[in-house]
Chains A and B, each alone.
Chain A
Amino acid sequence: MLLTISTTTQPATDLGFLLHKNPARVHRFEQSFGRATVFYPEATAERCTVCLLVDVDPVGLVRRRSGPAGEDGQLAQYVNDRPYVASSFLSVALSDVFGTAMAGRSKDRPELAATAIPLEVSIPVLPSRGGEMLIRELFEPLGYAVRAERLPLDEAFPGWGESRYFSVTLSGTLRLQQLLNHLYVLIPVLDDEKHYWVGDDEVEKLLRRGADWLPTHPAKEQIARRYLKHRKSLARAALERLTPSEAEADDARVAGKPAAREDALEAPLRLNEQRIAKVVEVVLEVGAQSVLDLGCGEGKLLRELLRQRQLERIVGVDVSLRALEIAEERLELDRLAPAIRNKLTLLHGSLMYRDRRLQGFDAATLIEVVEHLDAPRLRAFERVVFENARPATVILTTPNAEYNAKFSSLPAGQFRHPDHRFEWTRAEFERWAGDVATRFGYEVRFTPVGEVDAVLGPPTQMAIFRVR
């Protein structure tokens, strides 16, 4: 991985003084993850270019790994892009090799260090989760002219589409210190990945590197969130200290992983809150004292259910052990009084199997669950819930596919979440639910959740089944 920095300030070779690296020599540095080399492919009075070339040891990356596994575990693979792209490794090398310049100091040219000069950065392979638009959103407000060219995945297979890599040139007139700090922070933000664990000290780094430009940057929330690896509490702490008055920013905007397209789409509608409120309302209305939250995920609904005095027994079930662990953590069960805590049980289970533990409940909730099941296996699911568990009331919500037309960022024909196996129109949902009700001896009514569009209906549809 590499980048070059060029200047046309006169004399251009003063760049060597600013960086404390003599253009006449090749400089080598050992890094914990490999080796960094600094050299000057051109050094004339008119134009001087420095290159930082970083060699990441690909075997060490996998074998001596102590950091996180990365998105989809890609950092744990021998075949991965890390040795070739601009990433957090490059940021670490930048601060290590050009530390003095990043601090704005220059022994021989202190005035030049404090002067805005014409600078141009070229990064042959810069990954961006967010495309060219994000590169522009991050760098243009800082005064750069941006040129970006996207690399294809493989020219022999045009059908595979384009990669997330760009060959990028940024040019502007600014202090070298500013430029280095921008790159230090924004390269991993674009990549949206870090090769080391992100802890509290990462907030300090962000504040130090971003002190004079981040507070006024229009994308500061996104920068803080991505820089801090989506750790909500850290991101909030950072924002609080950057701009105390804006810290009350909506949780929903800070939350979520990049893959959580559904959250991103629905967040502005506050749909999840509305859905949960509606479900709780129905649970109380039918007089349930025991509730089964099937597909409870990370426990957002369970938290609200726990607050209801009417409920004596609450059981959350999910097929993902990881989700249950997160739920346990988020609900902070060990902080609750035993009387409240004992109301709740979390069970690992599957809606594909008959399960005695699910019998004998007043109500069951299935919030945004059914669309994650393969259509051919719905029959097993129906029997598990309506024949075997057989709660008196079943509350089930699912997206209304018709409403997707209103999400401008969602390409037509795509689902709201990559794991959705289908999304139903209102007619399809009502047909399915009506048939289930008939077969299993329930009656069913439907109710909208969220703001209802006159033509397309509500974003979420809810069916309430009552046993006959």
Chain B
Amino acid sequence: MEIRIPELALVVLVGASGSGKSTFARTHFKPTEVLSSDYCRGLVSDDENDQSATKDAFEVLHFIASKRLRAGKLTVVDATNVQAEARKPLIALARQHHCLPVALVLDMPERLCRERNAARADRAFGEHVIRNQASQLRKSIRGLEREGFRHVHVFRSPEELEGLTIRREPLWNDKKAEKGPFDIIGDIHGCLTETLELLALLGYDVSLRDGHYAVSHPQGRKVVFVGDLVDRGPDSPGVVRLVSDVVRSGTGYCVAGNHDVKLSRALRGRDVKISHGLAESLEQLKGESEEFRRFTAEFLDQLVSHYVFDDGKLVVAHAGLREEMHGRGSGAVRQFALYGETTGETDEYGLPVRYNWAADYRGKAMVVYGHTPVPEAEWLNNTICLDTGCVFGGKLTALRYPERELVSVPARKMYYELIRPLRPAVPAILTAQQAHEELLDLEDVFGKRIVDTRLYRSITIREENAAAALEVMSRFAANPKWLIYLPPTMSPSETSARPGLLEHPEEALGYYAKNGVQAVVCEEKHMGSRAVVVICRDEDAARTRFGVAGEGRGIVYTRTGRRFFANDALQSELLDRIGRALDAAQFWERFDTSWFCLDCEVMPWSVKAEDLLRVQYAPTGTAARTALAAASELLRNAAARNLDVEDIAKSFAERSELVQRYVTAYRHYCWPVNSVADIKVAPFHLLATEGRTYFDQTHRWHMETLGDLARHDPECLVATPVRIVDVADANAVQGLFAWWEALTGSGGEGIVVKPMDFIPRGPRGLLQPAIKSRGPEYLRIIYGPEYSRPELLERLRERGLSTKRSMALREFALGVEGLERFVQREPLRRVRECVFGVLAMESEPVDPRL
């Protein structure tokens, strides 16, 4: 014998003690699928028969069952379950997780149960127990379906169990193997003409022969209808004919809409209220044959309420579907798919206010739906409503999947009047996604997170780091809509072995050579502050693309997401200046974009670091110079008295010299900023423009492209001096070293060595995207004025780079990920997750001097 149960079910075994439930479960299910009450009793009390542990044991059992069902795993409950009050919580559990409850009843002869129990040493309870259980069981059998079990199978003898097979069937909504490509069509409501037009526009061949449609697509595409085929419009019977032919021929699918269900009920003589255009359908069907009416009723009645396609990546349901309901089957799922949810309130037109489930949606599957007429189909959190109100004079819209393209045809006329106007009185200035993202949800950024990156691997953000990022973001960051990218930290080269030096380009080149990189791009490292510039063509572009209104055409922000300039006027002057260079270089046209995201260094250092200079660098300088000068003078006096202070005096004279060099070093990077003319910007990465990033371009390209831009305003924009070096060419390498010495000797910070490819890979995976080699004078600002004293320098040579390098890779991967997501128009929270990640990483304790 074979019985069938749904693939995802809560299977409740019902049977007296000794009826063979555990053996049955072992035979037909995986050990991990079976939750036994005896076993749970043992878990909590060390004794499987300790009846006093029953309550706790069932709590454990229900808890595990609920975790399994949430994860979509079939679960079998092995307990006597002979009493209704034992089964009730299980049915509730199945409903809660939108799974079907199944009862398998082992109604075995009492004698058999008694014998089996007698044979077991641990089942020493009296015969009356089994008698009671058997009688409770028999009383239960008839009511099981009424209790809520969707499938009930009763077995009355051991013989019936012999040769039994249990077949698990996928749910009707499971079309995961069907991968499309699809054309998903919104609410039709009897608009046959527009539907045929749309199908033709989508490239389908449609013919009508003998009252039946034949529909096919040369590329084998399939149609999916989101339901509400009927009511209100001019030809509901025609639409049913078309759609049923498509479905029957296998070239398409249709989910049920609330109107379809209601019409079917009306046709089958149920008592339904004739409203919302049902009258038109019934009137039109009067002209059809009785047979067609019966067919229509049946066809509409058997429509499934939602489908899951393409390995779970696409879900179609008439009114949408929450993530936990995807692929599940229960009354609640059908209810939701047909009607959605309302808030319980009514609007000014007396219509129920629909709860916007899509705003809360965070699932990976794309959800395509209809039901609520909207002026334009708009994406929100990877969901889209295709009901563009054709019957109300709007248009009929289709979504091409997986292309995500919208195709629509306008309605020939307004067939039916909408109570609430389709277009809002005030046109929205932001898209649905942007409006939704005006306010983000704490749950989207809080706590431990794992971010999947395309470049590296999944990156774990620890909870305490996420908390630190939240604090920084909330208290100091610029409007988060601007923050689409944060640059990664950069590791220095390995410590140099050369005397008197901590860093030298040799080690940076060595790193890349060792990892198989041939050509490196060596860029002068400007000593300013890292800044990301987001600049739009105008304020309008800022609003449409970034959803930021009233904050100008762009922003300059720091590597921790703060506004670079406290002074708004200065920022907007600088942006305009960069904007004019972009105009002159015809970059808007060349890159076909309304915005740019540039990675830059902004100088002077003092413009951003003035606080640091005032509380740390300058005080140390003035204190050191004064103290060392005073000490030197006292030591001279002591020497004049013939005291033996020669060694100390000499050391202090040297130290005075070092401190003076330290002051010279930091002064080099400071100049007063009175206007935008005093600011210099050195862009070195063209990160992204509309629709694309430039991580696939070499650093040579980035340097050339941005050098091109800089030519159009050399006063403000700095073309970074650069050398491209073949690491195997000894002459070129020596030339680079000489260049580095000249740069750092004249006050330069040093150089950054980058592999030719923006995203470099070596034999062991992703390589450092860049390595800096800083000059000895500059390092006084990092390691202290006197660090070059030999006794100090030797101790400073010990520095661990591994944490810094691992962090640089993870931040690089997160930065790239965030920007890729942004250009692909993913929801802001998905972009924010990456930006938050970089910020969180930065709260890790790492030697800040590296």
Contact = CB atoms under 8 A, between A and B. Distances in A.
A157 B551 contact: no
Contacts of A40: 638, 641, 643
Interface stretch (A112-120, A148-156, A225-233): A148-156
Contacts of A127: 623
Interface string A58-96: 110001000000001010011111011100000000000
Interface in B615-632: 615-624, 626-631
Contact of A153 (B444, B464, B619, B648): B619
A350 B442 contact: yes
Interface in A148-169: 151-154, 156-157, 159-161, 163-165, 167
Interface string B663-682: 10001001010000000000
Nearest to A377: B479
Contacts of A80: 616, 620, 784
B467 A321 contact: yes
A349 B470 CA distance: 8
Nearest to B615: A72
Given A39-B645, A83-B624, A124-B626, A354 B440 contact: yes
Given A59-B795, A380-B438, A350 B610 contact: no
Interface in A239-286: none
Contact of B627 (A4, A125, A351, A376): A125
A24 B480 CA distance: 69
Contacts of A154: 618, 621-622, 663, 667
Interface in A369-387: 372, 376-377, 379-380, 383-384
B617 A79 contact: yes
Nearest to A80: B620
Contact of B616 (A77, A164, A352): A77
Contacts of B644: 26
B458 interface: no
B439 A383 contact: yes
B474 interface: yes
Interface residues of A, number: 65
Interface in A136-186: 151-154, 156-157, 159-161, 163-165, 167
Interface string B447-491: 000000000000000001001101101110001100000000000
A43 B637 CA distance: 10
Contacts of A383: 438-439
B614 interface: yes
A84 B439 CA distance: 50
B479 A376 contact: yes
B795 A350 contact: no
A243 B620 CA distance: 39
Q: Is the interface of A mostly helix, strand, loop or mixed?
A: mixed
Contacts of A167: 626
A26 B643 contact: yes
Interface string B830-845: 0000000000000000
B641 A352 contact: no
Contact of A163 (B474, B619, B643): B619
A79 B631 contact: no
A151 B468 CA distance: 38
Given A319-B471, A320-B471, A376 B551 contact: yes
A319 B475 contact: yes
A79 B781 contact: yes
B645 to A, nearest CB: 6
Max chain B C-beta neighbours (<10 A), residue from A24, A42, A78: A78
A385 B470 CA distance: 18
B613 interface: yes
A53 interface: yes
A100 interface: no
Nearest to A167: B626
A2 interface: yes
A197 interface: no
A2 B634 contact: yes
A165 B648 contact: no
Contacts of A306: none
Contacts of B582: none
Contact of A58 (B614, B638, B641, B786): B786
B626 A151 contact: yes
B445 interface: yes
B403 interface: no
B479 A164 contact: no
A353 interface: yes
Contacts of A380: 438-439
A351 B626 CA distance: 48
B737 interface: no
B129 interface: no
B473 A352 contact: yes
Contacts of B618: 153-154, 157, 160, 163
A435 interface: no
A160 B782 contact: no
Max chain A C-beta neighbours (<10 A), residue from B470, B634, B648, B787: B634
Interface in A344-360: 348-357
B442 A353 contact: yes
Given A79-B616, A163-B623, A352-B474, A63 B628 contact: no
A39 B439 contact: no
Interface in A9-58: 24-26, 37, 39-43, 51, 53, 58
Contacts of B355: none
Contacts of B474: 319, 350-353
A167 B627 CA distance: 9
A364 to B, nearest CB: 16
A125 B471 contact: no
B622 A152 contact: yes
Given A167-B626, A353-B442, A354-B442, A156 B667 contact: yes
Contact of A79 (B443, B470, B641, B785): B785
A153 B622 contact: yes
B290 interface: no
Contacts of B637: 41-42
B584 interface: no
A160 B438 contact: no
Interface string A413-456: 00000010000000000000000000000000000000000000
Contacts of B613: 160
A2 B622 contact: no
A39 B645 CA distance: 9
B164 interface: no
A1 interface: yes
Nearest to B783: A78
A84 B796 contact: no
Contacts of B623: 81, 84-85, 125, 127, 151, 163, 165
Contacts of A151: 622-623, 626
A78 B551 contact: no
A388 interface: yes
A353 B627 contact: no
Contact of B626 (A4, A41, A125): A125
B44 interface: no
A51 B470 CA distance: 52
25 contacts: A2-B634, A26-B644, A26-B645, A26-B648, A40-B638, A41-B641, A53-B648, A58-B784, A59-B787, A78-B849, A84-B627, A124-B626, A151-B626, A153-B619, A160-B614, A165-B622, A167-B626, A319-B471, A320-B471, A321-B471, A354-B442, A356-B443, A376-B479, A377-B479, A379-B438
Which 7 A-B residue pairs are closest in the complex by CB-CB distance? A41-B637, A78-B784, A124-B630, A353-B442, A350-B474, A153-B618, A84-B623
Interface of A: 1-2, 4, 24-26, 37, 39-43, 51, 53, 58-59, 63, 72, 74, 77-81, 83-85, 124-125, 127, 151-154, 156-157, 159-161, 163-165, 167, 319-321, 348-357, 372, 376-377, 379-380, 383-384, 388, 419
Given A53-B648, A80-B616, A84-B628, 13 more contacts: A53-B631, A79-B616, A81-B623, A84-B623, A124-B631, A153-B622, A154-B622, A160-B613, A319-B470, A348-B470, A353-B440, A354-B441, A376-B551
